[in-house]
């Protein structure tokens, strides 16, 4: 398994009048955390696009357990639990507050697509090599 961790400070704009983080903003937190996870893999999502690969999100599943509050320093864990076997990659996210309480869990499925043809493709070789050590017994 590959695991990575990122920190995000809740912005005022991300709260709503219920005085908590608006539920729709977690997609952005997951995405920011995923960008850091890919950076920890020795790659960046920006490079992915530069070499012609797009990674659209095809599924997003989120459970909201406890609210995040303004100015909270959140820790977001990102897990890749299995090496992708085809065009499909799945990430798990967990959001914790400073007291270590689990606030939100997310599961996101993305595809590897050729950005020009929009045909399905697979994980770039360079990224695959970087990840394989995390998935060997």
| Binding residues vs a second copy (CB under 8 A) | 9, 11-13, 15-20, 22-25, 27-28, 31-32, 35, 44-46, 54, 56-64, 67, 70-71
Are 46 and 4 contacting, i.e. CB atoms less than 8 angstroms apart?
Answer: no
Which CB, 22 or 134, lies closer to a second copy?
22
CB of 137 to a second copy, least distance (A): 33
Which CB, 114 or 132, lies closer to a second copy?
114
Which CB, 47 or 83, lies closer to a second copy?
47
**Region for 21 from its dihedrals, namely left if φ exceeds 0, alpha if ψ lies in -120 to 50, beta otherwise:** beta
Are 29 and 97 contacting, i.e. CB atoms less than 8 angstroms apart?
Answer: no
Query: 96 is written with which tokens?
Result: 């914790």
């Amino acid at each position: 398994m590959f695991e990575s961790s990122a920190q995000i400070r809740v912005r005022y704009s991300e709260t709503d009048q219920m005085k908590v983080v608006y539920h729709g903003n977690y997609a952005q937190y997951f995405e920011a955390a995923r960008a850091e996870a890919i950076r920890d893999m020795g790659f960046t999502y920006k490079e992915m696009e530069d070499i012609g690969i797009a990674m659209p999100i095809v599924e997003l599943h989120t459970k909201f357990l406890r609210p995040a509050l303004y100015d909270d320093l959140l820790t977001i864990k990102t897990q890749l639990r299995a090496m992708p076997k085809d065009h499909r990659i799945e990430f798990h996210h967990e959001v914790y507050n400073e007291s270590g309480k689990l606030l939100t869990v997310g599961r996101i499925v993305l595809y590897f697509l050729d950005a020009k043809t929009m045909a399905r493709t697979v994980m770039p070789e360079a990224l695959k090599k970087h990840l394989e050590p995390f998935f060997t017994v």
